[in-house]
Amino acid sequence: MSEPLDERPDRVHAVARSLARTERAERVVSRRRSGFFWKLAAAFAIVVLVAASTIGWLLNARIESTMDTELQRGLERATVLMGQILREDPGGPGDARARELGAAADMRLTWIRPDGLVLADSHFDADRMERHDSREEVLRSLREEFGASVRYSATMREDMLYIARAVRDDDGEVVGIVRASVPVEEVERELAQLSRLTILGAGVGTLVAWIVGLLVSQRISKPIREVRDVAEALVSGDYSARVREFSRDEIGMLAAALQRLSAEIARRLAEASLSEARLRAMLKGMVEGVVAVDESDRVLFCNDAARDLLDPSGGDLEGRHVWERVRIAGLGELLEEARDERGLVQAELSVVRDGMLHSFDAQASPFSGGGAAGVVAVLHDITELRRLENVRRDFVANVSHELKTPLTSIQAYVETLLDGAIHDEQNNERFLKKIDHHVRRLSALVSDLLSLARIESTGTDIQAEPVGLSGVLAEAARLAEGSLGESGITLVQEVAEGQVLARGDRQALVQVAFNLVENAVKYNRPGGRVTLSVGQAGEEAFFRVKDTGVGIPDADRQRVFERFYRVDKARSRDVGGTGLGLAIVKHLIQAHDGRIEVDSREGEGSTFTVWLPAA
């Protein structure tokens, strides 16, 4: 559909204004390009000038150091040769010979006696020279292998480099000093010439670099402008922009990098998405519950553990407010406190589910980024930990009570005896028997506590080997004979068909059987019966202890293996029970990878069956 005629002039004027703006922008860019061109050319010249000056200075210093070192080494070698002459002729070679040697070595040579008297010199008459015992190089040669110094020579009337060496005989006594020296003026002259050459080279290099810089700047400017245009297009979101020409230098690499930029951005976005997926997978597999909420307590993320803790019904929490599905008192306050404190806060939360109290250790901390903020909460289920703490607390209370009761009785009887009852022939023996009864009870309690502590803390060293269960029960019956005689209980051991073997530790199994037999005797009726039997079912062997006692009520049947738990506390104390026997039995059976079953009816007796791996 064509445009109305009255609207076309406006479109033409708009295009014209756009072209004008473009031309002005190109002129500005051109001026900037000109400035960049001259800056780049000047940079080339400055860099080369600095580099040439630095290299020249370093080279000059290096050559000076090398020349000084080589000159000093040459003088040292000369003193060594002079020392041989002095050792052969302690009077020195004479002035004529000295001049000959000095001319051949192209240096001044001097032979000196230990007292400083000059014996011979290659450039002056030795008789007219003053003593040299105070010369710096001579003094140093007596302390060191070579004495060196640079000083003005009054004899030569110029600066000289001196190297002196003390000549010693076989006993280490100084027989004389030899000295070699050269003027330093020649070295300084060569160094000055080198400095002039360095300055000249730096100037020529700067000029050449400036000319090369003009050419390079002109070549660099064009691709830089094109790279800039492509970069601006990428900034605006046009990832289809491309550089038309590539050079084989860093600018070309930059152009290629810009062309890869759009693909790199897409790749980075994909990596970010993958990292987020990995993070979600890691959080999902954590045992602790992790939940993140935004500023309005809307769930942003929730792993499976947190979902199970917060909403056992299995609903989807993400995208919904926490208070819609979560019914844990204090969680909302914890999140709000983390926002207010702007740091990590911690609290213990509780909730009752299915008639059981569940406890959580909750930690919350705020987060922010990308224009968003929220709180991350980590929940750890400590229900089992609290249960174990309660068990420990109950255990301490029970132990204290069990120890206090007999100790109180013992104390009362002892005080009664001390108050004069010890002379009461009608009661003193009865009091002593009571004390003996409570002491035995304390001894049994401590023994059982030590056994239980050893089993729970270090485990039982089970020496797994084939064990005949009939022999185990026979040994347990023999140990229980004393209890049977006092109570009038009949013990019957049924004969098994064939030998029944189980894998385990014989002593540990005897202790298990003895505890069960002793319990069956203690809680039996007067004149009752205890039946022992063994058998095998598949890959498991078992032995069974059956009594005709009072039985165990249904409500107490699952707790009889707890420490200090008694169905009838009064009867247990009367018969001397510690409340730990069945707890020890349970731990020993678990150490054998076995299990124990209880079948009991109140008033009809109980049956304990121990199942073990068959041998």
Domain that holds residue 404: 387-456
Q: Check if the beta carbon of residue 213 is closer than 8 Å to that of residue 203.
A: no
Q: Check if the beta carbon of residue 381 is closer than 8 Å to that of residue 370.
A: no
Q: What is the DSSP letter of 578?
A: -
Are 494 and 419 found together in one domain? no
Dist. CA 229–CA 33, nearest whole Å:
13
- Torsion-angle region of 205 (φ positive above 0: left; ψ -120 to 50: alpha; else: beta): alpha
Does residue 19 belong to any structural domain of this protein? Answer: no
Does residue 18 belong to any structural domain of this protein? Answer: no
Are 417 and 496 found together in one domain? no
Q: Check if the beta carbon of residue 329 is closer than 8 Å to that of residue 347.
A: no
Are 605 and 503 found together in one domain? yes
User: Residue 297's domain is classified under what CATH number?
Assistant: 3.30.450.20
- Structural domain ending residue among the three candidates 456, 483, 498: 456
pLDDT in tens, 326-365: 767 778 888 888 888 777 888 888 777 766 777 888 888 8
Q: CA angle 426-429-430, nearest 5°?
A: 85
Are 84 and 183 found together in one domain? yes
10-residue averages of pLDDT along the chain (615 residues): 40 40 43 60 75 76 77 83 80 80 84 85 82 84 85 78 86 85 78 76 73 74 76 70 70 76 73 80 76 82 76 71 73 82 82 75 81 81 77 68 76 81 77 78 69 61 82 88 75 84 88 88 86 91 91 75 60 53 82 88 88 89
Edge-first strand listing for the sheet containing 372-381: 299-302, 289-294, 372-381, 356-369, 345-353
Dist. CA 388–CA 18, nearest whole Å:
81
Confidence at residue 277, expressed as pLDDT on a 0 to 100 scale: 82
Are 406 and 504 found together in one domain? no
Confidence at residue 541, expressed as pLDDT on a 0 to 100 scale: 92
Are 377 and 400 found together in one domain? no
Angle between helices 428-458 and 383-418 (to 10 degrees): 160
3-state secondary structure labels for all residues of 270-321: HHHHHHHHHHHHHHHCCCCEEEEEECCCEEEEECHHHHHHHCCCCCCCCCCE
Paired tokens of 46: 């400055």
Alpha-helical (H) ranges within 126-184 are 136-143
- Structural domain ending residue among the three candidates 381, 412, 442: 381
Confidence at residue 549, expressed as pLDDT on a 0 to 100 scale: 87
Q: Which amino acid is at 531?
A: T
- DSSP per-residue letters across 349-393: EEEEETTEEEEEEEEEEEEEETTEEEEEEEEEE-HHHHHHHHHHH
Q: Check if the beta carbon of residue 412 is closer than 8 Å to that of residue 547.
A: no
Are 423 and 552 found together in one domain? no
Are 527 and 433 found together in one domain? no
Beta bridge partners of 118: 112
Does residue 524 belong to any structural domain of this protein? Answer: yes
Q: Tell me how many domains the chain contains.
A: 4
Q: Check if the beta carbon of residue 563 is closer than 8 Å to that of residue 585.
A: no
Are 181 and 304 found together in one domain? no
Confidence at residue 607, expressed as pLDDT on a 0 to 100 scale: 92
Dist. CA 532–CA 546, nearest whole Å:
7
Please tell me whether residue 110 adopts helix, strand or coil conformation: strand
Beta bridge partners of 530: 491, 547
Are 426 and 373 found together in one domain? no
Please tell me whether residue 600 adopts helix, strand or coil conformation: strand
Are 85 and 179 found together in one domain? yes
Edge-first strand listing for the sheet containing 118-121: 118-121, 108-112, 174-183, 158-168, 147-153
Please tell me whether residue 242 adopts helix, strand or coil conformation: coil
Output the CA torsion sign for 488, 494, 495, 496: negative
Are 500 and 584 found together in one domain? yes
Q: Check if the beta carbon of residue 160 is closer than 8 Å to that of residue 184.
A: yes
Confidence at residue 30, expressed as pLDDT on a 0 to 100 scale: 43
Beta bridge partners of 13: none
- The separation between CA 579 and the C-alpha centre of its own chain, rounded to angstroms, equals 47
Does residue 33 belong to any structural domain of this protein? Answer: no
Does residue 237 belong to any structural domain of this protein? Answer: no
Q: Check if the beta carbon of residue 545 is closer than 8 Å to that of residue 516.
A: yes
Paired tokens of 610: 């121990």
Instruction: Determine which helix (DSSP H) or strand (DSSP E) holds 67, and give its type and residue range.
Output: helix 8-88
Dist. CA 606–CA 523, nearest whole Å:
10
Q: What is the DSSP letter of 427?
A: T
User: Residue 569's domain is classified under what CATH number?
Assistant: 3.30.565.10
Alpha-helical (H) ranges within 89-184 are 95-105, 136-143
Residues 6+ apart with CB under 8 A from 325: 310, 311, 313, 315, 317
Does residue 72 belong to any structural domain of this protein? Answer: no
Please tell me whether residue 92 adopts helix, strand or coil conformation: coil
- Structural domain ending residue among the three candidates 422, 456, 490: 456
Does residue 527 belong to any structural domain of this protein? Answer: yes
Does residue 17 belong to any structural domain of this protein? Answer: no
In this structure, the strands spanning 345-353 and 372-381 are unpaired
Residues 6+ apart with CB under 8 A from 419: none
Output the CA torsion sign for 498, 504, 510, 516: negative
